[in-house]
């Protein structure tokens, strides 16, 4: 079946439908990863977005039940150059196309993803409509695209009840994770280090967290514009004012910065991929990281009396991490667990566990 992708700038791409045939309107972004498409599809940070995979062949190793980053996919639409009709891997349980159909995710293949990625890179991320309709009105579609906005995304992806994940092996510390869209990879990275993890709904009051007897708090990754989460920012400020060790990841990094007086901004096309270079200014080393974000903390808005930029993006100099003057408090923009990319920056988890007294 024919499918059509219409961008907010008026560009139209034709191809063949994959997955669901339902119409979709979403924010179109691109990801440069060569692998990890299942982790990308199930990462809550992609809620409200459609993903263009720049690598030309996607789906060649299929999907399985073990690699999901959450209980369900969150990507609205998937755009690929070529979708492999079969999965060739000893862990393969199903094809990517069947996975998309099962979870009602619309998609299109046969698109010149190189040209599409260039548009999004040069003009910035923009809304798009994916349709399988035989006849459609581009002008009407553009009006709908103007009206679309990713809003209240955290409330859509956070869990509704606390969930406990026991430590693997000896328990060294008890940790609260504020679930703004946490991935399973983050939870696993912590439990492997001896943390008994309690994942809490995003709306959990700070007073309840502080009374829970935890050794530290992780502010997780998640989707959407960080600045719209005014209620969450107020609770994060209370956690910051406590003495508990804090570690912010992704959206959590941005919320922590906003809670301490800094500002955030939307990047033209964001950082999404498994090969993004980041410089650790404290160690004087460059690491390749896995990233997925469209917003960043404005470097010049960080009060040097409150925090110092500790990590920076090598490509554009944007803030990738903060080390706070307040004891045992730091944050990073990228994904240290690196389930879709390198794992060299997992030392940040070790640093956090060490700040809670759980170091080996």
Chain centroid, CA 112 distance in Å: 25
- Residue 224 assigned to a binding site: yes
H or E element that contains 15:
strand 12-19
Cβ burial of 316 (10 Å; 0-12, 13-18, 19+) is exposed
pLDDT of 54 reads 97
Distance CA 162, CA 66 (A): 22
Pairing of strands 106-109, 12-19: antiparallel
- Residue 251 assigned to a binding site: yes
Distance CA 319, CA 175 (A): 26
117 close to 80: Cβ distance less than 8 angstroms: no
pLDDT of 344 reads 85
- Residue 213 assigned to a binding site: no
Task: List the catalytic residue out of 69, 282, 335, 346.
Answer: 335
Give, in words, the CATH class of 154-355: alpha beta
The contacts of residue 124 (CB under 8 Å, 6+ apart) are 268, 269
Q: Where are the domains of the chain?
A: 2-150, 154-355
pLDDT of 240 reads 98
Task: List the catalytic residue out of 39, 76, 312, 337.
Answer: 337
Chain centroid, CA 27 distance in Å: 14
Distance CA 338, CA 340 (A): 5
Closest CA to 290 of 276, 310, 304: 276
- Residue 294 assigned to a binding site: yes
Helices (H), the chain: 37-41, 96-102, 113-123, 138-147, 153-157, 184-191, 206-210, 230-240, 251-259, 347-355
Pairing of strands 49-53, 163-165: unpaired
Which backbone phi and psi does 294 adopt, to 5 degrees?
Answer: -115, -5
Question: In the structure encoding, which two tokens stand for residue 301, read together?
Answer: 């808005």
pLDDT of 304 reads 98
Place of tokens 């997925």: 292
Output the pTM of the full model: 0.96
**335 counts as catalytic:** yes
pLDDT of 337 reads 83
- Residue 254 assigned to a binding site: yes
Distance CA 162, CA 178 (A): 10
Distance CA 5, CA 75 (A): 16
Give, in words, the CATH class of 2-150: alpha beta
Divide the 360 residues of the chain into consecutive groups of 10 and give the mean pLDDT of each group. 97 97 97 95 97 98 96 97 96 97 98 98 97 94 95 97 97 97 96 97 98 98 98 98 97 98 97 95 94 97 98 97 98 84 85 81
**337 counts as catalytic:** yes
Which backbone phi and psi does 96 adopt, to 5 degrees?
Answer: -65, -40
Distance CA 128, CA 146 (A): 10
Distance CA 132, CA 30 (A): 21
pLDDT of 335 reads 85
SS3 61: coil
pLDDT of 360 reads 45
């Amino acid at each position: 079946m024919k499918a059509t992708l219409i961008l907010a700038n008026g560009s139209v791409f034709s191809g063949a439908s994959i997955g669901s045939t339902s119409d979709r309107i979403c924010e179109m972004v691109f990801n440069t990863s060569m692998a990890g498409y299942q982790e990308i599809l199930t990462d809550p940070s992609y809620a409200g977005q459609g993903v263009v995979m720049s690598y030309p062949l996607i789906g060649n190793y299929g999907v399985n039940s073990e690699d999901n980053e959450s209980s369900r996919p969150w990507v609205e639409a998937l755009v690929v150059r070529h979708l492999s009709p079969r999965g060739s891997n000893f862990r393969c349980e199903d094809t990517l196309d069947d996975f998309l159909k099962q979870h009602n995710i619309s998609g299109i293949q046969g698109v010149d993803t190189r040209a599409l990625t260039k548009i999004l890179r040069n003009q910035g991320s923009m809304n798009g409509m994916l349709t399988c309709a035989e006849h459609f009105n581009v002008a009407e579609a553009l009006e709908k695209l103007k009206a679309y906005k990713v809003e209240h995304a955290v409330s859509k992806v956070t869990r509704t009840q606390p969930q406990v994940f026991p430590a693997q092996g000896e328990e060294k510390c008890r940790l609260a994770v504020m679930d703004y869209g946490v991935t399973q990879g983050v939870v696993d990275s912590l439990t492997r280090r001896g943390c008994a993890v309690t994942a809490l709904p995003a709306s959990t009051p700070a007073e309840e967290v502080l009374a829970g007897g935890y050794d530290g708090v992780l502010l997780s990754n998640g989707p959407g514009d960080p600045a719209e989460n005014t209620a969450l920012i107020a609770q994060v400020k209370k956690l910051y004012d406590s003495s508990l060790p804090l570690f912010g990841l992704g959206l959590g990094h941005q919320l922590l910065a906003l809670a301490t007086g800094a500002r955030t901004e939307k990047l033209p096309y964001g950082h999404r991929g498994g090969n993004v270079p980041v410089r650790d200014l404290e160690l004087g080393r460059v690491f390749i990281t896995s990233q997925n974000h469209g917003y960043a903390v404005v470097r010049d808005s960080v009060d040097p009396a409150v925090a110092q930029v500790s990590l920076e993006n090598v490509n554009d100099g944007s803030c990738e991490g903060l080390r706070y003057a307040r004891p045992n408090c730091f944050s990073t923009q990228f994904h240290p667990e690196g389930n879709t990319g390198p794992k060299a920056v997992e030392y940040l988890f070790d640093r956090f566990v060490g700040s809670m007294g759980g170091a080996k």
